[in-house]
Amino acid sequence: MKVIIKFIVIAVISAVAIFPQGFNVKATGGQTFSFEDKYGRNQATFFSTTPLEDITGITNNIKGSVTFNVNDFSTLNGKISISVASIKTGIDLRDEHLRSANWLDAESYPEAVFEIKKVSDIQVLEQNKLKAQVTGDFSTHGVIKEVVADATVTYLDESEDTKKRAAGDLLGVQVKFNIILSDFDVDNMVLGQKVSDDIEISVNIVGSNAQ
């Protein structure tokens, strides 16, 4: 029995060594990355498709931060938010409708927020790149719902090339998930016709730990 237990312990340790859950980079320990970018290079998109038309909303007004242990990405926590009023769809009148009380009511609920709760299914793609599922609370229009996002994350050690973007180590994050507008008490006569109830959200952001 002792031999069996010893074998199991060795197998578990070996599995952890073979399948790391973090980044193999210069930094160690806890790191915090801020995603506020005064140049507006970070981006979130909101995509709706119906038989009548496809609509893409875009915003560069993104802020927030995340913290995690470099060697254990499951420790990830933090939140990201965007300004609802900053979303642009290419048509000014449509943007006004989007911000109105009949839709997202940007005056009463100025931000949409994703707050991280847990990380699962971590897969290391390269020494500085991994993908995972990130579960979090998404809030907009005064309603909070749990969503699961697919995330790809790349850690870049500071270099002469990265300094052209920002000082410090950089963290590139690509995230995609879906929400159902009616789950967030958005009730409009054109919902499901000109605008899909199912909205695909994609986020492509880069943060720095020097900010």
Please give the backbone phi and psi of residue 166, each rounded to the nearest 5 degrees, phi first. Answer: -170, 160
Which residues are within 8 A (CB) of 121 and not within 5 positions of it... i.e. 6 or more apart? 132, 133
66-125 residue pLDDT tens: 999 999 999 999 999 999 999 999 999 999 999 999 899 999 999 999 999 999 999 999
What residues are paired with 83 via a beta bridge?
111
Residue 36: strand, helix, or coil: coil
10 Å Cβ neighbour count for 17?
8
Burial degree of 56 (CB within 10 A; 0-12, 13-18, 19+): middle
In order of their start, the domains of the chain are 23-208 (2.40.128.110)
On whether the CB atoms of residues 39 and 49 are closer than 8 A, the answer is: no
154-209 residue pLDDT tens: 999 999 999 999 999 999 999 999 999 999 999 876 777 788 999 999 999 999 99
